[in-house]
Chains A and B, each alone.
Chain A
């Protein structure tokens, strides 16, 4: 079937406990886990598709729909909460015009949250495309997206 997928799967042949690493590898390449990929993984492992869905929906890391070109992850950890993380999330959501867990229709931005980034001493924090931004204020958070149309100031 799909050659690209077959290449990703090949090194896992005969290795036990490889479902999660496979899902991670496929998602790393494709950005998400489309249905066709799940079908092919199921055949490769000889495991029912339902079981694969059971696993992939259990873990927060896996997505079944495409992610935006820019991934914004706002930390909801305790230290961030105490230092105003909820307001950062609100501000970012307002700027991007999408809610937590959503992707903008033009696939430019996805907004996610994470339970904790482990950068608690820099709370509140967020990550934009794997770059960590610490000690955020709503103003600074807004400024990071100031180029987005619609909202004037920033």
Chain B
């Protein structure tokens, strides 16, 4: 700690930032903030320290997060009862609280400064730069960090055509998944004939496993409002809609606040900044349908109809909402716009790869040490993201696969870890960039069950319009369910392959077009695991419930009764000091016995495709000591 005291920053005035994103609030960060405010007042430090709520850092796993600037001390897992120690020891006496520092996931060393944490160090936070650093409910705070400069520049110094040119030059492509060049999309809409045009922000982040849109909306809603206003100016729209997922109540609340503030400041409404350009935004709450992330379905939903996609052409740029030319961009795309305009297209285009410019934001989750939002230049390798930023696979487990792009994406194996990630490389590998979900799985995840999981989702979310999607995903799911239950048949793999191709080629929209990807990629990279299930009724990951059995090992069981008492179906027989026996005919494979067996005994074992020799009836336990 010596270097901290030497740095001389510790006692300087500063700001205490408390994350109030959905994740941190769930661990009581709102109470932490109130506590800090109270303590600071009590200690007479109100002049020296300001407490500021922020939105999501994207590092929710470590929450609640509190950081003190300008010194950069970063606290994790802060609980209301820690507030007094932080205030007295750190804020008053200048001694930061080491026990709340982030600990390196590999070495366990406490790390005081966020700039030294591997998770942040390797990132380039271009779009997420405000997340965790500005108060999302305070427009002045956003302005202080350069907010609304871009809209000023675009509306007062540039023509719509110049704005479009700038975005085209930047090479920015749609961050919603498809990667269509944003400037070109704007140009189509600009050139479409018609007086009345609409600008829509797609904030219907439905991909399970992706939460960057939620984080941006909760942490930096004004960046989206600003991006939308610039886009509307470029295409010539006077009315805009944000279509946001109802499952994100905090994001919706902060968006409403942001819209109201922007209206009060004249940044929305008539003649914005005196430019003569009129634009306003209305918030529409989605009602829970994944397919509404598809642009034509989304527009149908705004119109109050069932959210079902329709054939394109006509593209929304020609005939969109209420039949008028419409432009739709994703939250991340729009949050990137102010950055491009402010820093210039060339600076932006210097980041990334030849065809994919700028940064990509991933939601890194699953079996990886650091879970959270990761923003890196396009072209960063999977291994950099998973091992250097993510800290690798915890608990001594082995990496098995990384799933990118959500239910529309694919599962990539260890051989592809050196793949530099951009739109093209992921597509070539059979996956997609998608909305940026990146879920790491280890040896405990069954690949067939994983494919089944995604199909369950897409099958349920298929709107039912196209038969190949409606019926095909159901048929694929039936086969996958059968395989994971031990009823796989020879020929199932070929059937899956055929169905997958039919669904992919025969569906109107991207939901059906990409729904088979999880199956196709797992068949391509993990075929032997399917075969093992089908031919030997064995699940190598010990994950498929119907293919595993639990046994109590006679030489380890101490007859403690814990598993017996906890078994929900009464399948365990035994008594004090008698080896317990599981009645395999009653067992529902729930795994409770394995969970509750004290680790020092380790008497319950889980196997697949093999029988374990155990006593038929309870016998006295071996006197081990």
Contact = CB atoms under 8 A, between A and B. Distances in A.
A49 interface: no
B322 A121 contact: no
A40 to B, nearest CB: 17
Interface string B233-272: 0000000000000111100000000000000000000000
Contacts of B214: 118
B246 A61 contact: yes
A58 B306 contact: yes
A98 B603 CA distance: 32
Contacts of A82: 365-367, 439, 441, 445, 450
B212 to A, nearest CB: 9
Contacts of B306: 54-55, 58
A55 B297 CA distance: 13
Contacts of A114: 247
A134 B247 CA distance: 16
A146 to B, nearest CB: 14
B60 A122 contact: yes
Contact of A121 (B59, B289, B302, B591): B59
B304 A78 contact: no
B27 A134 contact: yes
Interface stretch (A1-9, A17-25, A64-72): A17-25
A85 to B, nearest CB: 10
Contacts, number: 150
Nearest to A59: B287
A109 to B, nearest CB: 18
B595 interface: yes
B25 interface: yes
B303 interface: yes
A104 interface: no
Interface in B207-230: 207-211, 214
A106 interface: no
Interface in A9-38: 16-21, 23-24
Nearest to B217: A118
Interface string A121-145: 1110100001111110011000000
Nearest to B461: A115
The 10 A-B residue pairs with the shortest CB-CB distance in the complex, in nearest-first order: A60-B288, A132-B26, A59-B287, A116-B208, A77-B208, A19-B304, A118-B211, A78-B209, A121-B371, A79-B365
Interface of B: 22-23, 25-27, 58-61, 63, 205-211, 214, 246-249, 284-290, 301-307, 322, 363, 365-367, 371-372, 403, 406-407, 437, 439, 441, 445, 450, 453-454, 457, 461, 463, 565-566, 568, 590-592, 595
